[in-house]
Chain A
Amino acid sequence: MSDAARWLLPSMHDHRAITDAIAGPLVEGQAGRRWWIALLASLLVAGVGAIATGISFAYGPGMWGNNSAVVWGFPIANYVWWIGIGNAGTLISALLLLTRQKWRNAINRFAEAMTILAVSIAGLFPIIHLGRPMYFYWMAPYPNTMDLWPQWRSALVWDFWAILSYLLFSLIFFYLGLIPDLATLRDRKGPRRWRRIWGAFALGWQGTPGQWRAHQRLQRTMAVIATPLVCSVHSIVGLDFAASLMPGWTESIFPPYFVVGAYFSGFAMVLLLALVIRHALGLEAMIRTAHLDACAKMLLAAGSVMLLAYGSEWLSALWTGEAADLRFLAFSFTGPYAGLTYGMILGNCLLPQLFWSPALRRSVPVLVIVALGVLVGMYFERILILCNTLSIGYEPAAWTLYVPTIVDFLILAGTAGLFVSAFLLLSRVIPLVPMYEMRELAEEARA
């Protein structure tokens, strides 16, 4: 069996079958009842989150669990968690393109879509957390009557440029890959209004050799740029912490550790989305068990690196013998947040070890449990990074525990609802699996 044939069932070795399977539901099919129920439920959750955010805007950050010691709390944990998920889509797509991995074809489109939605959501949190969100544009340099300019040494300003650049870059990367598929939708029989919209966004794509060549050159160029860009974006998030002077934060390992964490949580989300999409859109012939197996191996590798990173962090604290670091370490394992620490180790380090077994890598229930475990474990890690350090810093008089409020939880749930509803809407207007790349794979598989 050729390598290409591993990733595509023989029933999909035909260009027309691929186009019909992916474009068919978009141009001909009606959204099913399950889709509507999922959309309404996710919109409801997003709406509740919007109300909670509105309450925060009206009454201020006092509605959250943040206090004078733990000043970051849920809003920054949410930011780091979402941007981690967002970092993975473009990284996965770019890395797998550069390393010519054939299994990329089935997953890159929805992974990139995931990135755009997750980064957009992540970008909201530093603004919400400002307390005076109406002044967020002060982070951008613009001529003003106060004759002021941004403080370029501020981590907040680094985040502003990192999120803005990464979001727009990912949008261009995503759109570039989408152009040939939009032309396919434009040229198929279907609703006239939608064909006109797809046609406008296809920008007159014809599929001539010159266009394909230019397309591929730009796609590869962007993949080369994307890889260090993604690493830099999450390294900057890591520097938000590492550039400070707090116990548990002043760690040189933080930038790479954050990048691996982002890749890890993003891959878990990609795996979950792959499971949902293949089932909901009937794409089992294209997103095969072999794809799930490959994603599981990635989670196993990243989970093992996370274990190494945690071990290194703990060992460093022991090795230094610094009182504040030792206190921080003891607090992590025996303090009031210890349950979260053990949950984090279980979700991020132990559960992925199940994937040493090939049978478990192909078991859908196990994949779902591990992917959810990783996402929850990574959230615990984000909240622990903030709360452990800020609750028990250098100044004993300032030691305060952090307890999130219902508003904190509702805002977090609301972003999940927003993500799901936006993804559902996207699934009705663009192909979540790239048709032209699957056709190329089919030709190779048939050869």
Chain B
Amino acid sequence: MTALALASFEREAAFRAAVSRAGAEQRRIVGLWSPYPVELGDIGEEPAAPIPWIACLGGLGAAILFYAFIWWTATQAYPFDSGGRPLHSWQVFLIAPIELGALAAAVAGMIAFLIRARMTRLHHPAFDIAEVERASSDHFVIALSCDETEGGDVLALLTRAGAVHSRLVTR
């Protein structure tokens, strides 16, 4: 039967050591939680999200569209001679698109972040794990999947790494 070995750590170094050892022993890491960003190398990392590119494209796209809209309103829909200035006054038409482009980049980036981080799931099985609640506050938590028969070995590994609390949950 499959079991879940859960362990929590008070120190970042111990947590990193546990993650590293679990990786070295080819244990299956099913969850990692920390109260601040921790560099874990390749383990536990997902491919880099193209958030900056999405934000950049969102911002550029919105700015170009808005500039086109301004050009259309000022030269086609409502041409207005203001003191003999050219209808297409590109220098001042750039101002609003630049501002709106920055906002659109932030919105596009935020949407990409929410999708990438799998956010807006207010109910998630991880929230049923008591240890995970501490992870938002002051503990680092690791969850390893293992066979129930080797649960003792896995817990011993985690304890050796410096876990302050560990337990086995059978599924």
Contact = CB atoms under 8 A, between A and B. Distances in A.
A57 interface: no
A165 B100 contact: yes
Q: A interface, how many residues as a size bin?
A: 35 or more
B99 A233 contact: yes
Contacts of A18: 138
Interface residues of B, number: 66
A244 interface: no
Contacts of A264: none
Nearest to B29: A209
Residue of B35, B92, B123, B133 with most chain A CB atoms under a 10 A cut-off? B35
B156 interface: no
Contacts, number: 188
Given A206-B127, A209-B34, 4 more contacts: A152-B70, A187-B134, A208-B32, A217-B48
Interface of A: 14-16, 18-19, 23, 141, 147-153, 157-158, 161-162, 164-166, 168-169, 172-173, 176, 180, 183-184, 186-188, 199-200, 203-218, 220-222, 224-226, 228-229, 232-233, 236, 436-437, 439-440, 443
Q: Is the interface of A mostly helix, strand, loop or mixed?
A: helix
Interface of B: 10, 12, 31-38, 40, 44-46, 48-49, 51-52, 55, 59, 69-70, 73-74, 77-78, 80, 82, 85, 89, 92-93, 95-96, 98-100, 102-103, 105-107, 109-110, 112-114, 116-124, 126-127, 132-139
27 contacts: A23-B137, A147-B77, A151-B82, A152-B93, A158-B95, A162-B95, A164-B103, A180-B36, A184-B136, A187-B136, A200-B122, A203-B114, A204-B118, A205-B119, A208-B33, A209-B38, A213-B37, A217-B51, A218-B51, A221-B51, A221-B105, A225-B102, A229-B99, A233-B99, A436-B36, A439-B138, A440-B36
Contacts of A16: 137-138
Contacts of B10: 15
B124 to A, nearest CB: 6
B93 A215 contact: no
B57 to A, nearest CB: 12
A156 to B, nearest CB: 12
Contacts of B106: 168-169, 172-173, 222, 225
A149 B136 contact: no
A141 B77 CA distance: 12
Contacts of B49: 213-214, 217
B171 to A, nearest CB: 19
Contacts of B120: 203-204
A70 B103 CA distance: 34
A136 B70 CA distance: 19
A200 B119 CA distance: 11
A218 B119 CA distance: 14
Nearest to B126: A206
B17 to A, nearest CB: 14
B134 to A, nearest CB: 8
Given A161-B95, A213-B37, A207 B116 contact: no
A28 to B, nearest CB: 14
A162 B73 CA distance: 19
